Amino acid sequence: MWKPRAVPRALSPLLLLLLQSVLALVSAGGSNGTTWNTLSGSPPLVIAHGGFSGIFPDSSELAFSLAVVTGSKNLIVWCDVQLTKDRVGICFPNIKLENATNIADVFPNKEKTYSINGVQTSAYFAMDYKFEELHNNVYCKYIYIYKLLTVFGCWTVVQGDFTRSDKFNNNAFRIFTVDALVKIEAPPGLWLNIQHDAFYAQHNLSMQNFVLSVSRMVNVNYISSPEAGFLRSIRAHINPRITKLVFRFLEKDEVDPSTNQTYGSLLKNLTSIKTFASGILVPKGYIWPVDPTSLYLLPHTSLVSDAHKVGLEVFASDFMNDISISYNYSYDPVAEYLNFIDNGNFSVDGVLSDFPLSAFEAIDCFAHIGLDAAKKVNTLVISKYGASGDYPPCTDLAYEKAISDGADVLDCPVQMSKDGIPFCLSSVDLIESTNVAQSRFSKLGKIIPEIKSGNGIFTFDLAWDDIKSLIPSMLNPYSRKYSLYRNPKYNKKVQFLTLSDFLKLTKGQTSLLGVVIIIEPPMATPMPPFLWPNQRLEPPPSGNHRATFLVTNHHVPPFFDA
Q: Give the pLDDT confidence of 99-119 residue by residue, as tens digits.
A: 766 778 788 999 999 999 999
- Is residue 102, in this structure, part of any structural domain at all? yes
φ/ψ of 519, rounded to 5, equals -115, 120
- pLDDT grade for 61, boundaries at 50, 70 and 90: confident
pLDDT tens figures, 242-255: 999 999 999 999 99
Q: Could you tell me what percent of the chain has a pLDDT over 90?
A: 64
Residue 529 belongs to some domain of the structure: no
In a shared domain, residues 300 and 230 = yes
Asked whether residue 52 is assigned to any structural domain, the reply reads: yes
Sequence-ordered list of residues with C-beta below 8 angstroms from that of 262, at least 6 positions apart, any chain: 252, 253, 254, 255, 256
- Residue 548's pLDDT is 61
Q: Are residues 189 and 297 in the same domain?
A: yes
CB atoms within 10 A of CB 424: 28
d(CA 391, CA 18): 33
How would residue 534 be classed by pLDDT, with cut points 50, 70 and 90? very low
In a domain, 26, yes or no: no
Cis link prior to 522 (omega < 30° from 0)? yes
Pair (155, 233) in one structural domain? yes
Q: Are residues 80 and 122 in the same domain?
A: yes
Claim to verify: residue 51 and residue 131 sit in the same structural domain: yes
Residues 344 and 406 in one domain: no
Per the structure, the count of domains in the chain is: 2
Closest CA to 65 of 149, 4, 152: 4
Closest CA to 210 of 59, 93, 89, 95: 89
**C-alpha dist (Å) from residue 327 to 298, 354, 390, 420:** 11, 20, 9, 37
Indicate the length of the chain as a whole number: 562
pLDDT the model gives residue 104: 83
Strands (E), 339-408: 350-353
Q: pLDDT at position 551, please?
A: 58
State whether 225 and 130 are in the same domain. Answer: yes
Q: Over the stretch 347-356, which tens digit does the pLDDT of each residue have?
A: 999 999 999 9
Q: Looking at residues 52-79, what average pLDDT do you find?
A: 91
Residue 438 or 483, more confident: 438
- Do 284 and 151 share a structural domain? yes
pTM: 0.84
Q: Are residues 134 and 84 in the same domain?
A: yes
Mean of pLDDT values over 493-521: 91
Are 324 and 440 in the same domain? Answer: no
**pLDDT for position 557:** 43
Q: Is residue 29 domain-resident?
A: no
Alpha helices (H) along 181-224: 197-201, 207-217
Please say if the pLDDT value at position 11 is more than 60. Answer: no
Whether the pLDDT of residue 30 is over 80: the answer is: no
- Is the predicted pLDDT of residue 522 greater than 60, yes or no? no
Does 117 map to a domain? yes
Average pLDDT, rounded, for the chain:
84
Instruction: For residues 112 and 82, give the distance between their C-alpha atoms in angstroms, rounded to a whole number.
Output: 17
Could you say which of 366, 382, 405 is where a domain stops? 366
* Residue 105 confidence (pLDDT): 79
**Residue 433 predicted with pLDDT over 70:** yes
Q: Could you tell me if 265 and 164 lie in one domain?
A: yes
Residue 30: inside a domain, yes or no?
Answer: no
Residue span of the structural domain in which 508 resides: 396-524+546-551
The whole-number pLDDT of residue 57 equals: 81
| pLDDT for the residue 330 | 87
Cβ(126)–Cβ(120) below 8 Å: no
Point out the domain boundary residue: 344, 366, 388. 366
Half-sphere exposure of 156 (CA within 13 A, CB side): 20
Choose between 208 and 528: higher pLDDT: 208
Q: Is residue 416 part of a domain?
A: yes
Parallel, antiparallel or unpaired: strands 45-49 and 350-353: parallel
Last residue of a domain, one of 347, 366, 385: 366
Kindly tell me if the per-residue pLDDT of 498 is higher than 50: yes
Identify whether residues 425 and 351 lie together within a single domain. Answer: no
Domain harbouring 429, CATH code: 3.20.20.190
